[in-house]
Structure 1
């Protein structure tokens, strides 16, 4: 059997767990760049930006979980091939009530889980828009070695397999319950990125200054647009308010 090329190895690894976006998604005004992606003070927005057509489709969510997944055959025809679309995640802009260590505390820093998904799934780029900056993070040929290092670590019984089991048990002790799958995945992603060399400093100022360089060291291409203006506030529906209060029962009067 002929030896697989690096690209074939990457394709095999990223297609093991295909990441699809469920429908229906809300359609927004066409956009030529990530600087005009939808943003909200209190909600996450996840979706797809299709650069060729400018189409933007997504959904507001209370929490940081991915949009529900569907089989690849369930994709609607208006979506471009997954390797051309850009996966988007805009975190809540109001971080005043977020606990220390929360990914939502820093809207101008990409989510570590998103970085992991960029290596683990079939999308070649992710984008986000924060308070002051917008950014697109792309895979390049220089990223291939990092992705294969992740693959080797995850399949190593003394590496990724052991760490995932340990993460699950640590979360169960800390939470006092069985953790949800997305909580395990998020904790595992953080551990994997630390193994690969993406370890964010503890101080906010240092975090904001270091994350682009850390990603470039892993082979990613980072495009940053600075000076993003304020976004028009998007009104929350009754259902959104109910879900928000359920998530934050101690913040009566905030919504």
Structure 2
């Protein structure tokens, strides 16, 4: 039996757990660029950009969890073929209330969980639009070695399998409750990227400067733009306001 090519091995790995995006999603004005993705001062926006048609669909969420998955047979037609869609995540632009160390303090830096999803699932690119910069990050042939290194580590009982168990127990002790699945996945993604060599400095200025270089060393193609339009105003629903007040009960905030 012939040995599989690197591309075939990567395809097999990323197809193990297909990442679906639930619907219905909100549709936004068609865009010919990742520079015009929807953004909000206080909320996360997650969704999909279809470069060929310019279709943009997604949802605003209070926290950073993914949109819930749906069975593959229930996907809307505009999301097929799956790999042609760009997974998008625009973090809250108003980061003044975020704790030190939170990914949400840096809307101009991609979330580590998003980088992990780009390696672990079928998407070929992710994009975001922050306060002053926007970027699209693409997998290339040079990324194959990094993805397969992640595959082997996650299958190793003394590597990724062990670390996932440790992450879950550490979160339980720190939070005083059973962690949500997305909290475990976020912590696991951070551990995985550290293993692969993607570590960022603690201070904001070096972090903003170095993240593209660190990703390129892993084989990703990074395209950055620093000319973006002002954030589109989006009105929060009553339900969203209540969720936000629950998240930040002692803080004064504007809609």
CA deviation vs aligned residue, 1:12-65 (integer Å, no higher than 9, x gap): 110111101110000111001110000000010000000000000001111100
Residue of structure 2 in register with 1:48 after alignment: 48
CA deviation vs aligned residue, 1:178-227 (integer Å, no higher than 9, x gap): 11111110000000000001001010000000000000000000000113
CA contact (8 A) 2:127 2:137 kept: yes
Show structure 1 runs of 4+ deviating over 6 A: none
Unaligned runs of 5+ in 1: none
Name the CA distance, whole Å, in 2 between partners of 1:231 and 1:253. Answer: 17
User: What pairs with 1:207-226 in structure 2 (closer than 5 Å)?
Assistant: 207-226=207-226
Residue of structure 1 in register with 2:242 after alignment: 242
CA contact (8 A) 2:38 2:232 kept: no
CA contact (8 A) 1:50 1:80 kept: no
Q: Does 1:71 align with 2:71?
A: yes
- Inter-CA distance 253–49: structure 2 relative to 1 (3 Å threshold): closer
Greater shift, 142-151 or 226-235, is seen at 226-235
Name the CA distance, whole Å, in 2 between partners of 1:246 and 1:39. Answer: 21
TM-score normalised to structure 2 length = 0.98
Q: C-alpha root-mean-square deviation of aligned residues, in Å? A: 1.0
Residue of structure 1 in register with 2:191 after alignment: 191
CA contact (8 A) 2:35 2:229 kept: no
Superposed displacement of residue 254, structure 1: 4.8
TM-score normalised to structure 1 length = 0.98
Unaligned runs of 5+ in 2: none
SS of residue in 2 equivalent to 1:57:
strand
Superposed displacement of residue 249, structure 1: 1.5
Q: Does 1:174 align with 2:174?
A: yes
- Number of residues of Structure 1 aligned to a counterpart in Structure 2: 255
Name the CA distance, whole Å, in 2 between partners of 1:122 and 1:28. Answer: 24
Name the CA distance, whole Å, in 2 between partners of 1:229 and 1:160. Answer: 41
Name the CA distance, whole Å, in 2 between partners of 1:84 and 1:253. Answer: 38
